[in-house]
Chains A and B, each alone.
Chain A
Amino acid sequence: AQKITQTQPGMFVQEKEAVTLDCTYDTSDQSYGLFWYKQPSSGEMIFLIYQGSYDEQNATEGRYSLNFQKARKSANLVISASQLGDSAMYFCAMRERDTGTASKLTFGTGTRLQVTL
């Protein structure tokens, strides 16, 4: 069975600093996809970034990058130059069988990030 582990219930970071949110996963599949979502206090789930298990390069989307270490089964999210608007809950998620065929996401418990002045 798939499992996503986020060990940091809460994190603080100063504005303009970088922060890393940890995510480890467990799966027996060779092919899978990893995602990060942001959930502000308003409640919506916002897609941030995706990494396929066969992608050789780490994914980047603007200030977000995903530090993918396949052998360690980790997919950490790095946010550079933090902004006050980055304060939110962040969820790591995994989709098995990364063939583009749609299937369910398994989520971690989330990390609450607070950006301070």
Chain B
Amino acid sequence: DSGVTQTPKHLITATGQRVTLRCSPRSGDLSVYWYQQSLDQGLQFLIQYYNGEERAKGNILERFSAQQFPDLHSELNLSSLELGDSALYFCASTPTGGSSGTQYFGPGTRLLVL
């Protein structure tokens, strides 16, 4: 158990809908990352937050947005869903002040868009 929690584990929805994925980082970790894993694109970095502020953006679609709250949990919002958004979405967190910057991943949310 990495200490990172994600809910829900599975999500089935229809095209055009909006969903929210939730992540709680390990206790004390200020950095949260979101990644998408799909069959055609592999594992891709979406966005990073550090202590409530956006720190870096990757290949995140405009239909997707995220935020990190004062209690450090993060939410990834996916809107106007398309079939191609079906993927495994991971959240990861990094210990503050650690020398390696190792990212510990949550169990993921498996999204299926029908």
9-residue interface stretch from B16-24, B40-48, B74-82:
B40-48
Does residue B58 face the partner (Cβ distance < 8 Å to A)? yes
Chain A proximity of B62: nearest CB distance (Å): 19
Of the candidates A45, A50, A104, the one whose C-beta lies within 8 Å of that of B100 is A50
Of the candidates A45, A101, A103, the one whose C-beta lies within 8 Å of that of B105 is A45
The SS class assigned to the B binding surface is strand
**Cβ of A101 and Cβ of B103 under 8 Å apart?**
no
- Count of CB-CB pairs between chains A and B under 8 Å: 66
Residue numbers of B with Cβ under 8 A of A are 2, 31, 33, 35, 42-45, 48, 50, 55-56, 58, 88, 90, 92, 94, 97-108, 110
Residue numbers of A with Cβ under 8 A of B are 33, 35, 37, 43-47, 50, 52, 91, 95, 98, 100-107, 109-110
